[in-house]
Amino acid sequence: MTSTASVSGPAAAPQPPSVPPVSPVPVSPFAPLDAPSEQRLAVGQLLADCFAFAFPDDPAVLPEREALGLTHALPTERREHAVVWDGERALAWGCLAYDVEQNTHMAHLRVNVHPAARRHGLGRALAAFLMARASEAGRHTLTAGTTSRVPAGEMFAQHLGAQPALPMRQSRLDLAALDHDLLTRWQARPEGDPYRLHLWTRVPDGHLERVADMMMVMNTAPRGELEQQDWTITPEMIRAWEAMIEEEGETRFMMAVEDTRSGRLDSYTEVFWQIERAALVYQGATAVRPEARGQGLGKWVKAAMLQHVLDSCPGARWVQTSNANENAAMLGINVALGFAPWSTFTEWQLKR
């Protein structure tokens, strides 16, 4: 799914975490599934406004889609939401998300404050409220993500006492400048090649277990200083992701490389595209099993996917991706394809 996690907060200089908000801020727990639709839409509008402020040149996100996303969670995931209201208008929203079966020491924190309401302590109040909920749930390692497009978010993470744990480069590819000869060369396979390429929007039942096993190859991706254990991907999780993607009006294209000798899936890549925001395609995970590396599978599947985007995503102009700075292999592939630096994204970690 498309990653939009961010922490937005006051632009004032960082202060010790114990400093309270400038004035009392009323923080209200929020249950999206039980809330009136107009309240969900008010939070969706807040998130759309925050996105437009951070990324004014990008296709706008729709408040209705953002409101719907508030109701989504995996079967083993729990989400605690909180809102600062001004009448019927949402000025700030926060969410604490955690899994009840895996990485049970961790939780992910998101805080968004409307650009017109910043520097009034709303972010600090929401963070304090949600961190108290994290303690009650026994979660003492918190993560959060910030983009360099919103410097206030980085300052806010520092204010909370978080440490930058995984710096990443966000890159964009101009599809009009793609080297088509390179795509052709990377898709050429040797005679008698045992590998076969699959393309899905929904994983077939007969491949579900193998796809779950393949997706766990992402556990080999760099984690920086994040104290995160391996994730186990299940068929139930994949089906839940697919249902949420479909409900939000998004299309996920997955390409997988199968070794026909064993039936094992050795590589995959995925992209996400929404017709209402057709110009921008989000590149998700790309992975190759360690024992299958060195055979050009990563280049093949990336080139084939870009060709598919050109053929099947009308209006697409850009592809955006994120790579850990230490992931030299994938950065090398992306740079060769023409991905250029666009911003930075940082995963922060706070141990309490």
pLDDT digits (tens, 9 = 90+) for 125-165: 999 999 999 999 999 999 999 999 999 999 999 999 999 99
Residues 157 and 238 in one domain: no
Is residue 322 predicted with pLDDT exceeding 70?
yes
Residues 325 and 176 in one domain: yes
Q: Give the domain extent around 229.
A: 170-343
Is residue 8 predicted with pLDDT exceeding 90?
no
Residues 77 and 52 in one domain: yes
DSSP, collapsed to helix, strand or coil, labels residue 190 as: coil
Predicted local distance difference test score (pLDDT) of residue 19: 32
DSSP letters, 163-202, are EEEEEEEEEEEEGGG--HHHHHHHH---TT--EEEEEESS
Please give the average per-residue pLDDT across 197-204, as a whole number. 98
- From 115, 142, 161, the end of a domain falls on 161
Predicted local distance difference test score (pLDDT) of residue 23: 56
Residues 195 and 298 in one domain: yes
Q: Domain total for the chain? A: 2
Tokens standing for 328?
């030299």
Is residue 184 predicted with pLDDT exceeding 60?
yes
Residues 212 and 337 in one domain: yes
The rounded Cα 60 to chain-centroid distance in angstroms is: 17
The better pLDDT of the pair 18, 278 is held by 278
Is residue 21 predicted with pLDDT exceeding 60?
no
Residues 69 and 200 in one domain: no
Predicted local distance difference test score (pLDDT) of residue 193: 97
- From 161, 195, 225, the end of a domain falls on 161
Separation of alpha carbons 298 and 77, rounded Å: 31
Share of the chain above pLDDT 90, in %: 93
Residues 180 and 324 in one domain: yes
Is residue 18 predicted with pLDDT exceeding 80?
no
Predicted local distance difference test score (pLDDT) of residue 313: 98
CA gyration radius, the chain: 21
- From 161, 183, 216, the end of a domain falls on 161
Give the lowest-confidence range in 20-24, 85-89, 218-222: 20-24
Looking up residue 88, the CATH number of its domain turns out to be: 3.40.630.30
